[in-house]
C-alpha cells in the first residue's frame, strides 16, 4: 500500500495514455511491477488522459480479480449480455460436449473491450436443472479462434473510446481446461458487478488524482482522492458477495460521486480538450446506479434477516 500511495503522490502526472495501444503497453509494463490487480488499475489510470481509458484499466483489473489464473498482461472481455440481457435466464449461448471436448455456439452483444481483447470470457448455458434453472459456465476462448467473429458496435455518446462489440461464436472448439470451475452465475457473473465497481471507480479516482497533481489543484483534493482509493482498495480484498461489503461500497461510492461533483468546477483550469472530455464522459459515473441501489437494499435486507 505504501508503494502505491508513494507512486500516486510523487510520480510525474503526465496523462500520456491517449489510445488503446498506449493503454495496453502501459498495462504490460505495470503488470511486471504490481501484483495486485487493483494497484495495476490505479497506476495505469493515473497516467490516462481521459475517463474511457481509465475505465478500461479498471475493467481489466476487475476481470483479473475475478479469474486470478489469467496471465497478468492478457487483455480480456467478459461476454455475457445477449438480446434478452445478462440475466441467467436470458443466456442462450450453448456449451455442448462434442467429440471428447466442447463446442460453443451463440451470440453476445455489448461485449466491453472485445475488439481489443486477446481472450474472451464467455458465459454459456450447459442446459437446465430439474427445477428449470439455466445452468451456466464461464468459458475462456481465444479471441482469434476459428468460429469467433467480433464486430465492433457503434460507440456510446460518452467515453466512446471504450470499444464494444457483438461477438458471434459459431462452433468454437473448447478444451476442457478452458471451462472454468464453478457456477457461471454464482461464482462469476453475479460477483463481477461488485468487483467491477470497486476496480473501475478506483481507476476513475486515480485518473482524477493524476489530473489534480498535473494541474496543481488544492492539496486537500489530492488528500481526499487518495483516501477514497485506499478505501476502495481495502474493500476489494473482501468477499464481493457479502452484504457488509455492499453496504460499505454504497457509502464509498456516495462519497466518491460527491467528491467528483466538487472537483468539476476545477476543470475550468484544465486544457480545453480535458475539460470538454470530462463534461462529455462524466455520465459514465451514473451508469447502473439503479442496479447499485437494488444491491444496497438487498444487502440491508439480508442483514436484517441475519
CA–CA dist 129, 133 (Å, integer): 5
DSSP secondary structure, the chain, as one string: -HHHHHHHHHS-----B-SHHHHHHHHHHHHTT--SHHHHHHHHHHTBSSHHHHHHHHHHHHHHHHSTTS-TT--EEEE--BTTBSSGGG---EEEEETTEEEEEEEEEEEETGGG-SEEEEEEEEEE-TTSPEEEEEEEEETTSTTEEEEEPPPPSSSTTS-EEEEEEEEEEE-GGGB-SS-IIIIIIHHHHHHHHHHHHHHHHHHHHHHHHHTT--HHHHHHHHHHHHHHHHHHTS-TT-HHHHHHHHHHHHHHHHHHHHHGGGGGGS-HHHHHHHHHHGGGGGTTHHHHHHHHHHHHHHHHH-
Segment 255-279 shows an average pLDDT of: 93
Q: What is the pLDDT of residue 47?
A: 94
Which string of b and e fits 175-191 if b means at least 16 CB within 10 Å?
A: eeebbbeeebbebbbeb
Segment 275-296 shows an average pLDDT of: 92
Rounded to 10°, the helix 51-66/20-31 angle is 40
Q: What is the pLDDT of residue 1?
A: 64
Q: What is the pLDDT of residue 199?
A: 98
Q: Identify which has the larger pLDDT, 92 or 15.
A: 92
pLDDT at residue 2 above 90? Answer: no
Sign, CA torsion 77/157/289/232: positive
| Cα 200 to Cα 20, 168, 244, 272, distances in angstroms | 16, 27, 20, 25
Segment 257-267 shows an average pLDDT of: 93
Q: What is the pLDDT of residue 14?
A: 78
Q: What is the pLDDT of residue 289?
A: 87
Measure CA of the first residue to CA of the last residue in the chain; give whole Å. Answer: 33
Q: What is the pLDDT of residue 164?
A: 97
Tell me the percentage of the chain whose pLDDT exceeds 90: 88
Q: For residue 131, name the pLDDT band (cuts at 50, 70, 90).
A: confident
Q: For residue 278, name the pLDDT band (cuts at 50, 70, 90).
A: very high
Domain at 76-179: CATH architecture: Beta Barrel (2.40)
Q: What is the pLDDT of residue 262?
A: 93
In this structure, the chain runs to a length of 306
Q: Mean pLDDT, the chain, as a whole number?
A: 94
pLDDT at residue 265 above 90? Answer: yes
Q: What is the pLDDT of residue 192?
A: 97
Q: Pull the grid cell for residue 81.
A: 449480455
Kindly report whether the global pTM for this prediction surpasses the value 0.85.
Answer: yes
Cβ count near 28 (within 10 Å):
13
pLDDT at residue 227 above 70? Answer: yes
Name the segment(s) of the chain with CATH classification 2.40.110.10.
76-179
Amino acid at each position: 500500500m505504501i508503494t502505491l500511495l508513494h507512486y500516486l503522490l510523487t510520480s510525474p502526472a503526465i496523462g500520456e495514455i491517449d489510445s488503446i495501444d498506449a493503454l495496453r503497453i502501459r498495462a504490460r509494463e505495470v503488470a511486471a511491477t504490481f501484483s495486485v490487480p487493483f494497484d495495476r488499475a490505479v497506476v495505469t489510470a493515473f497516467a490516462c488522459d481521459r475517463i474511457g481509458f481509465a475505465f478500461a484499466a479498471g475493467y481489466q483489473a476487475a476481470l483479473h480479480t475475478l479469474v486470478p489464473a489469467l496471465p497478468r498482461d492478457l487483455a480480456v472481455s467478459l461476454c455475457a449480455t445477449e438480446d434478452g440481457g445478462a440475466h441467467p435466464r436470458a443466456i442462450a449461448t450453448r456449451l455442448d460436449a462434442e467429440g471428447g471436448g466442447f463446442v460453443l455456439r451463440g451470440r453476445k452483444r455489448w461485449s466491453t473491450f472485445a475488439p481489443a481483447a486477446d481472450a474472451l470470457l464467455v458465459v454459456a448455458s450447459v442446459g437446465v436443472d430439474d427445477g428449470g434453472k439455466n445452468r451456466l459456465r464461464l468459458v475462456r476462448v481465444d479471441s482469434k479462434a476459428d468460429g469467433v467473429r467480433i464486430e465492433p458496435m457503434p460507440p456510446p455518446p460518452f467515453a466512446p473510446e471504450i470499444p464494444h462489440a457483438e461477438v458471434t461464436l459459431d462452433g468454437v472448439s473448447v478444451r476442457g481446461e478452458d471451462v472454468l470451475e464453478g457456477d457461471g452465475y454464482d461464482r462469476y457473473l453475479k460477483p463481477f458487478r461488485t468487483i467491477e465497481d470497486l476496480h473501475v471507480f478506483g481507476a476513475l479516482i486515480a485518473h482524477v488524482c493524476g489530473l489534480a497533481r498535473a494541474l496543481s489543484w488544492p492539496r486537500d483534493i489530492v488528500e481526499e482522492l487518495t483516501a477514497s482509493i485506499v478505501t476502495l482498495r481495502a474493500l476489494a480484498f473482501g468477499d464481493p458477495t457479502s452484504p457488509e461489503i455492499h453496504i460499505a461500497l454504497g457509502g464509498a461510492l456516495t462519497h466518491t460521486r460527491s467528491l467528483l461533483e466538487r472537483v468539476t468546477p476545477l476543470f475550468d483550469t484544465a486544457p480545453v480538450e480535458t475539460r470538454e472530455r470530462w463534461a462529455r464522459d462524466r455520465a459514465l459515473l451514473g451508469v447502473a446506479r439503479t442496479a447499485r441501489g437494488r444491491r444496497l437494499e438487498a444487502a440491508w435486507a439480508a442483514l436484517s434477516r441475519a
